[in-house]
Amino acid sequence: MNKKKDFQANRVLSYFKAEWVTLAAVTVSGLIYNIGLLAAPWFEGRMAGRLVDILGGSGTFTSMLRLAVCYAAVTALVQGARYIKRFCVRRFANDVNRRMKRILYGSLIRKSRAELEGEGVGSAMTKAIQDVDDCVEGMRKFTTEVFDTGVALFAYAVMLLSYDWRLALLSMLFPPLSFLIAEKMKTVVQRTGAAFKEASAHLNAATLDRAENAVTYRVFGCENERQSAYEKELSGYESAAVKANIWSAVLPPLYRIISMAGTLLIIFFGARNIRGTGWTSWDIAVFTTFLACFTRLAAKSSSAAKLFNAVHKAQVSWRRIKPLMHQAEADEPVPALSAAALTATHAGFAYPGGSNIFADMSLSAQPGQIIGITGPVACGKSTLGRMLLCEYPYQGSLKFGDRELSSLRPAELVGMAGYLGHDPELFNDSIENNILLGDDRDANAYLRAVCLDQEVAAMEDGLQTRVGSGGVRLSGGQAQRLALARTLCHRKPVMILDDPFSALDKQTEAQVFAHLKELCRDSIVLLISHRLYLFPQMDQVIFVDHGQALVSTHAQLLQSNAEYARLFHEQEGGASNEK
């Protein structure tokens, strides 16, 4: 428990602390590997010297063989440590990636509908996938280079200084220049990286839009226009990607050239050392060792410079996701709330900076009542339903029992209200699993309640028929009824149903409504609909129009509200003419 409390999801250091066991293995294996790397130039120098001795007649092949065997054994040990280190680093990166995405997803799904809509689907996807991956990749490279570069640079530098400290200091003037250039490029790398992230978010949003609305664009002949718009987003993405990635392609070779410039000094002054006219006296073995050691130091230093750019890119991603990186509390168990009255006193709603959608609504609904909600198109019917879920802030007072809705914890709201929106939101799973959601019940009872049992029985796999993504394998009416069956299976004291019968014929709608009344006799049902011929059976009606939410009975509204009467009689007349 203490470790969980100490972990701070919005601090990078916490992710390193959480993986200390894996990082300990990285440390041990990394030290063995990088210190062992010093053996390579030493052996190479000794073998070069032994070869000169053999050619001069003062050495033996056996001594060369012993050196070669020892070199191979040490190399095997070093490479084994390298494998362990890389495996542990990858394990560290995978664990951090999983932890970050779990935290970020937990933050996203707990955002309100308004916040998610403001975030944008494309931006949310980019943050949830690409930004986390880039951030973790920067952490992985940092962890790797601490040993592959930091420890190795120090070890190589000590070895060079032990052979000729003057020449070592002179030749090592160049690698720091690559570090300086990498730091100076920080602003460019971060600016182009941020632009690339934004372009990626826009492209993700455009891709989703084309996939979701492909049929609509085709039917209305807008495919060419949408294709042009998509190509524009794609071109913007490609341009941003080129600008962001060109530096990662151009800079590393530049870092390597600058770092390796010291080899010219080593060749010049090293030759003088061999001739005995330099700062110290060398043989060919020492010269070979010194040059090989510096070459490796230069290569490592150029990698360190490249690391700076990778870390800069990771910083861009971290700044984007940091506001979402907060540890979500464990989901509370959903309490089983008892039936109670739902009351509204002068309740209303308005978007920030806008006029009232409706105001001054007062309502008293008892368990077992069905409240019809209707009004002209775009009058705020669905907004009223979501307001009762506290997805939007409301004015006035809304109470369930004696408790204000805004004071309820999220788990209590889930236990209080069930919701069925316009879209069925079905899972790519079986019909049975879409209804039960893991509960141990009889799915057929709820299929009968929505008049879908016979149609499901006629399907090849019956209850195990997979509905496809979003219910694509079902008709509109079937998908709507299946979603309603799921909602009825998980009944709550308050049931908010947004136009649940829009895809049904009137006969089926009447049957389903009768079953709804029976199953929800202990619940308050708020039924949002623009089809009014069932409204005479409602206990109360909320009519939303011109910024008002009038609450009355169907009969009273017919007498007191001309607009409601007109809408009802137009539908009633249509029904009579059809007959």
Per-residue model confidence (pLDDT) at position 513? 92
Distances (CA, A) of 451 to 56, 376, 445, 485: 100, 29, 10, 9
Task: Copy the structure tokens of residue 299.
Answer: 């290569």
Enter the tokens of residue 563.
């607009």
Which range, of 169-183, 474-488, 497-511, 541-555, averages the lowest pLDDT? 169-183
pLDDT reading at 575 higher than 50: no
Which tens digit of pLDDT belongs to each residue from 74-90?
888 888 888 888 888 88
CA distances from 312 to 112, 249, 388 (A): 32, 15, 45
Task: Note the pLDDT of residue 523.
Answer: 94
Residue 64: count other Cβ atoms within 10 Å of its Cβ: 16
pLDDT band at 579; cut points 50, 70, 90 = very low
**Quick count: other Cβ atoms within 10 Å of Cβ 536?**
14
Compute the chain's Rg from CA coordinates.
Answer: 36
pLDDT band at 1 (very low <50, low <70, confident <90, very high): very low
Per-residue pLDDT at 309 exceeds 70: no
- The reported pLDDT for the residue numbered 487 is 92
Give the pLDDT band of residue 397 (cuts 50, 70, 90).
Answer: very high
Question: What is the SS3 assignment for 19-42?
Answer: CHHHHHHHHHHHHHHHHHCCHHHH
Query: CA–CA separation, 198 vs 214, rounded Å?
Result: 24
Residue 303 is predicted with a pLDDT of 66
Lowest mean pLDDT among 205-214, 407-416, 467-476: 205-214
End-to-end, the C-alpha distance of the chain in Å comes to 69
CA neighbor of 421 nearest in space, from 375, 465, 384: 384
Nearest Cα residue to 535 out of 397, 375, 371, 388: 371
Backbone angles phi, psi at 38, to 5 degrees: -65, -25
Q: Where is mean pLDDT largest: 171-185, 259-273, 334-348?
A: 334-348
Report yes or no: 567 and 532 within 8 Å, Cβ to Cβ.
Answer: yes
DSSP-derived secondary structure for 426-487 = --SSBHHHHHHTT--S-HHHHHHHTT-HHHHHTSTTGGG-B--GGGTTS-HHHHHHHHHHHH
Separation of alpha carbons 287 and 53, rounded Å = 15
CB-based contact 320:196 (threshold 8 Å): no
Please report the pLDDT score of residue 4 as a whole number.
Answer: 55
Total Cβ atoms within 10 A of residue 16? 16
Task: Flag whether pLDDT at 149 surpasses 80.
Answer: no
Which tokens sit at 59?
């050495």
pLDDT at 127 over 80: no
Give the sign of the dihedral formed by CA 255, CA 258, CA 260, CA 262: negative
Average pLDDT over residues 163-171: 84
**Residue 158 CB neighbours (<10 A):** 12
Lowest mean pLDDT, pick from 3-7, 317-321, 486-490, 559-563 = 3-7
The answer to whether 565 and 410 have CB atoms below 8 angstroms apart is no
Q: What are all long-range contacts of 569-574, with beta carbons under 8 Å and residues at least 24 apart? A: 571/531, 571/532, 571/533, 572/532, 572/533
CA-CA-CA-CA torsion sign (61, 67, 69, 72): negative
Q: What is the mean pLDDT of residues 457-468?
A: 90
Q: How far is CA 53 from the centre of its chain?
A: 64
pTM above 0.85, yes or no: no
Q: Are 181 and 166 in contact (CB under 8 A)?
A: no
Find the mean pLDDT for residues 218-236.
Answer: 80
Mean pLDDT, the chain, as a whole number?
A: 81
